Structure 1
Amino acid sequence: MESPYKGKTGSKRLINAFKYSCAGLQEAFRNEDAFRQEVLLASVLVPLAFWLEHDNLGRALMIACVLLLLIVELLNSAIEATVDRISLDDHRLAKRAKDIGSAAVLISLLNLVVIWALVLAKQL
């Protein structure tokens, strides 16, 4: 059965999508420790990117990898919530899904470190 909200179009759909997105951000911030930590990291790194980097491309890369980390963390949290909704029992597929989501976050963090290091090394 499809969602009754699927039929919405135009500005009403955009308004609803915006509200759902804000609710999702609030839920993630309220319930996910890792997301709160990464938002704190972003609140330091994004302004720092403006202060440290004078090249717009370097600045864009630095900020983009910070935002990518937040996006991947949100997706990982959604996967974990969905798996937990289905069952809290130990199951190899549930573990696999959660571990793969966690690996995606780790790769995003490594991506952030590498990009920041390369952009900052260019300044030296």
Structure 2
Amino acid sequence: MKKFIRGFGYAFNGLAHAAKTQLNFRVHLVAALVAVYAGYALHIATGEWLWIGFCIALVLMAELLNTALEFLTNLVSPEWNKTAGHVKDMGAAAVLVAALFALLTGAVIFVPKIMLLIHAA
């Protein structure tokens, strides 16, 4: 049981390190807070909350995995290496795909509600 509980400590250490050292992770956290605030303000439905939550988790996980991949690549290949560069680029591409999916999902959920507010005013 101690190992299990200790594992949560390691996970929280990873989150804290990412938040302290990674600008992109902080940007994604701010975007997540904006999405949560917008969802609250626009009274989105339960199903829409699930999609927003899924997108937030997907983007943050992709960013954490990309950061871990970059750290590992730097450890294994500290000098410039073309293949190491491709590894880092593909990790960044994974974050881009997740972020674009989140952006599209957010647009589908929020734009119609914002348009209703604009036309109602």
TM-score for both structures, normalised by structure 1: 0.83
| Structure 2 spans left out of the alignment, 5+ residues | 117-121
Map of 1:5 onto structure 2: none
Aligned to 2:104: 114
Q: Deviations over 1:19-73 (max 9, x none)?
A: 0001001111111111111112112212222322431001210122022111100
Q: Over the residues paired in the alignment, what is the CA RMSD in angstroms?
A: 1.5
Question: Residue 90 in 1 paired to residue 80 in 2?
Answer: yes
| Distance (Å, rounded) in 1 between the aligned partners of 2:40 and 2:53 | 9
Q: Does structure 2 conserve the Cα–Cα contact (< 8 Å) formed by 1:28 and 1:74?
A: yes
Q: Does 1:69 align with 2:59?
A: yes
Q: Is 1:39 aligned to 2:47, yes or no?
A: no
* Structure possessing the higher relative contact order (Cα contacts under 8 Å, 6 or more residues apart): 2
Query: Residue 80 of structure 2: SS of its match in structure 1?
Result: coil
Number of positions where the alignment pairs a residue of Structure 1 with one of Structure 2: 114
5+ residue gaps, structure 1, are 1-10
Moved over 2 A (4+): 120-124
In 2, distance between residues paired with 1:112 and 1:84? Answer: 29
Instruction: Provide the C-alpha distance between the structure 1 equivalents of 2:41 and 2:74, rounded to a whole number of angstroms.
Output: 41
TM-score (norm 2): 0.85
